[in-house]
Structure 1
Amino acid sequence: MTYNLNSNVIYIKVTVLKLHLYIQYLKNNRMKAAVFKGMNLPLEIREVPTPFPRGDEILIRVASTGICHSDLHLINGELIGPLPEGFIIGHEIAGWVEEFASNVKNPYELRKGDPVLVSWIVPCGICKYCASGKENYCKQNASKMVGIIGINGGHAEYVSVPEIAVIPLGKKIDPYYSSPIACAYGTAYNALKSAKATSGKSVVIIGAGGVGSAAIQLANAMGLNPIIAVDIIQSKLEKAKELGATHAINALADDSRAKILEILEEGADIVYETKPNPDLKLSLEVVKAGGSIVVTGLGGFTNIAEIPITLFVSKGITLIGSLGYRPRIDLPELVSLASSGKIDTKKLVTHVYEPERINEAYENLKKGIHIRAVVKWN
């Protein structure tokens, strides 16, 4: 066996140079981010190194990130346990392409400056779930979800993510108001499709927050009728009517069950439970025989719903759990709906915050002030 000493020396020199350049990059490239400090503590705005795209990653300059209720479950340790200190959350992201790593294949032929969405779901693309169109249940994704686990999220000026999570955004769509497509709309769209929502079916949407309000817009675009919104905050119900709900019921002021059954004597074809802590009680009471209940509210692992089995069996109810969306299928379809004007993301966004007010945004989310709020980063 022989060794080429000169080539080994050259290899070492190149490696050292690359390491030196990377260290200089980290020193010279800093960005503003909202950093996790500990459970139930406010996020801290601080300067951190701008991520360096490696392998198959694309660096995204963030336009906006959504303020989602799932973030509260995450911050409180209710979804995956305590987050590591220094982690950056924010899983609802829109922005612009900034830089490509060396192994990016770029099937969409993206260029620097192109507007894009970032999916928090990062499928492997080749497992049996991905191959069968169920990439939201990809096992590999469970350990690397943007802004949730394994990959820093978009509450920052830049985010670097695997290219499979990057979806082109239509040129006509404003990235500052588009981040909800990457969670609120995506979640609602996949849920409605999972419940086989088609034109002429009736739907009751319980919870008129970000996901519920997106579902109202989508149900209207898909031709469902009637569309009944249920919430406990009157301002959200007024917004629901603006977004396409045919009826709006205040669960505090009215008997929701009675009101719904006045409108739909036999019950609803579909009941969509979007509440952060779903209990299924009203859903089971107002779904029609042979109808479907679809649930996307996570509620944390301690949240338990009780089901009256005789009612469940005798009515032949289909109960569906729906996680997120299929990024390479659902997100492009939603971009098309937004580009054609069938959904209007600007109507969903009721509040825009600067990064320094991000903790106020989450406090206002707890108070039910928003439909959907976004943080504007660049």
Structure 2
Amino acid sequence: MSMRGVFLPGDFTAVLREVEVPIPGPGQLLVRVGASGICGSDLSYIYRGHKTHAGQEGPAYKGVVAGHEPSGQVVEAGPGCRRFGVGDRVIVYHIVGCGRCANCRRGYMISCTDPRHRSAYGWQRDGGHAEYVLVEESTAVPLPDELSFVDGALIACGFGTAYEGLLRTGVSGRDDLLVVGLGPVGLAAAMIARGLGTARVIGVERSPERVAHARSLELFDEVLTADDGVAEALDEVTAGRGCTVTMDCSGSAAGRGVAIRGAAEWGRVSLVGEGGRLETEVSDLLLHRQLTLYASWVTSLPAMEELACRLVRWDLSPQRLVTDILPLEKADEAYRLADSGRTGKVCLVPSPS
């Protein structure tokens, strides 16, 4: 039996091809995809051209079905599966690790140290931009009934990344938060911060469309435009004190500079945006202000499962951040929309059979 899957040639296009529906082996699940998100790292490292990533030798993308943010429903379980069976709704943690190294044993398969066994859905093995995806049971996370498949797709990467970045800083109701870069991960950080009880959330973004979208969501107390006057604007809205926690989701040197400049004395700065460089004056901006910098990459399996349950408890729906949901047949259009930098989250869904 065949199905349709999306491939990324690396020339700013997304191509739909027929592929065989996989058969689950021992410890594997066949999942009917309910939704699959488009991630900024897919755009940077695959869609615009096949590049190395995270220490890979040669291009990270191996010509597989794209998409590392799937959620869906199990339709077949291979021999030896213990936790999940037919009918279960799951989120797919997007890295398969060796399961034996220290990072994998802590649930951080993203940081698996065994290159022989580490593989990512949509990068080195077939991903979620298809009607079905074959997943290791060890990478499946329960999707609560209260959440949609689109909710699950957002948790699979962007929300997990934002959650981990906030947890590292110990953010709480005692803090105010500055988020720089209001793409999908930045918006996720604001929504999660509201669930965690953060006292005040301020956003900074350079795209006028994303500024308008962020304001419409009513997650921020203030949304500022990233222009030449942003430092003064931040001083004004924080009475010159800055924010106790700041997070850069932009992945740009300029954005990271705003996050550092906007931190209060003794503040904590979380860096989660991929790519680019960190360029800062050290003494006056870091040392003399007693700042702590946290660098965070995605999240762990336990934290992702915890987040899904907390979102239900907080009555928050990640799907609110989505601006475009398109069928697989319009994958090329979906990628062009996501790559424009003017939208919120963009997701693909299989057409009803």
TM-score (norm 1): 0.84
2:278 aligned to which of 297, 305, 315 = 305
Tell me by how many angstroms 1:232 deviates.
1.5
Secondary structure, counterpart of 1:140 in structure 2? coil
Residues in 2 aligned to 1:320 and 1:146: alpha-carbon distance in whole angstroms: 26
1:277 aligned to which of 249, 252, 264 = 252
1:45 aligned to which of 12, 16, 20 = 16
Tell me by how many angstroms 1:98 deviates.
1.4
Tell me by how many angstroms 1:227 deviates.
0.4
Which residue in the other structure is 1:147 paired with? 122
Which residue in the other structure is 1:86 paired with? 63
Indicate whether 1:266 and 2:266 are aligned. no
| Equivalences for residues 1-378 of structure 1 within 5 A | 29-37=1-9, 39-75=10-46, 76-78=49-51, 79=53, 80=56, 81-83=58-60, 86-104=63-81, 106-107=82-83, 110-132=84-106, 134-140=108-114, 143-148=118-123, 150-241=124-215, 242-252=217-227, 255-264=229-238, 265-279=240-254, 280-299=256-275, 303-310=276-283, 311-327=285-301, 329-378=302-351
Secondary structure, counterpart of 1:291 in structure 2? strand
Q: What is the aligned residue count?
A: 340
Which of 1 and 2 has greater Rg?
A: 1
Tell me by how many angstroms 1:210 deviates.
0.4
Matched letter for residue 41 of structure 2: S
Residues in 2 aligned to 1:178 and 1:204: alpha-carbon distance in whole angstroms: 26
CA contact (8 A) 2:36 2:69 kept: yes
Residues in 2 aligned to 1:71 and 1:118: alpha-carbon distance in whole angstroms: 16
Secondary structure, counterpart of 2:191 in structure 1? helix
Which residue in the other structure is 1:10 paired with? none
Tell me by how many angstroms 1:193 deviates.
0.3
Name the CA shift for 1:332/1:83 in 2 (closer, same or farther; >3 Å): closer
Tell me by how many angstroms 1:373 deviates.
1.1
CA contact (8 A) 1:36 1:44 kept: yes
Residues in 1 aligned to 2:114 and 2:143: alpha-carbon distance in whole angstroms: 25
Residues in 2 aligned to 1:198 and 1:140: alpha-carbon distance in whole angstroms: 35
Tell me by how many angstroms 1:348 deviates.
1.2
Secondary structure, counterpart of 1:86 in structure 2? coil
The ranges of structure 1 where at least 4 consecutive aligned residues each deviate by more than 6 angstroms after the TM superposition are: none
Tell me by how many angstroms 1:347 deviates.
0.6
Matched letter for residue 272 of structure 1: M
Secondary structure, counterpart of 1:218 in structure 2? helix
Name the CA shift for 1:85/1:244 in 2 (closer, same or farther; >3 Å): closer
Give RMSD over aligned pairs. 2.0
Tell me by how many angstroms 1:122 deviates.
2.7
Residues in 1 aligned to 2:237 and 2:345: alpha-carbon distance in whole angstroms: 28
Q: Residues 69-127 of structure 1: CA distance to partner in whole angstroms, max 9, x if unpaired?
A: 110122123324435563112011111101111132x23xx331221100113344442
Name the CA shift for 1:226/1:85 in 2 (closer, same or farther; >3 Å): closer
Residues in 1 aligned to 2:62 and 2:306: alpha-carbon distance in whole angstroms: 36
Name the CA shift for 1:338/1:162 in 2 (closer, same or farther; >3 Å): same
Q: Residues 121-145 of structure 1: CA distance to partner in whole angstroms, max 9, x if unpaired?
A: 3344442224456554232378311
Report percent identity of matched pairs: 26
Name the CA shift for 1:167/1:347 in 2 (closer, same or farther; >3 Å): same
Unpaired segments of 5 or more residues in structure 2? none
CA contact (8 A) 2:93 2:156 kept: yes
TM-score (norm 2): 0.90
Q: Residues 308-363 of structure 1: CA distance to partner in whole angstroms, max 9, x if unpaired?
A: 12122222221111000112x11222211232343212211111011121121121
Secondary structure, counterpart of 1:72 in structure 2? helix
Tell me by how many angstroms 1:267 deviates.
1.4
Matched letter for residue 79 of structure 2: S
Unpaired segments of 5 or more residues in structure 1? 1-28
| Structure 1, 57-66 or 269-278: larger mean CA deviation | 269-278
Matched letter for residue 257 of structure 2: K
Secondary structure, counterpart of 1:48 in structure 2? strand
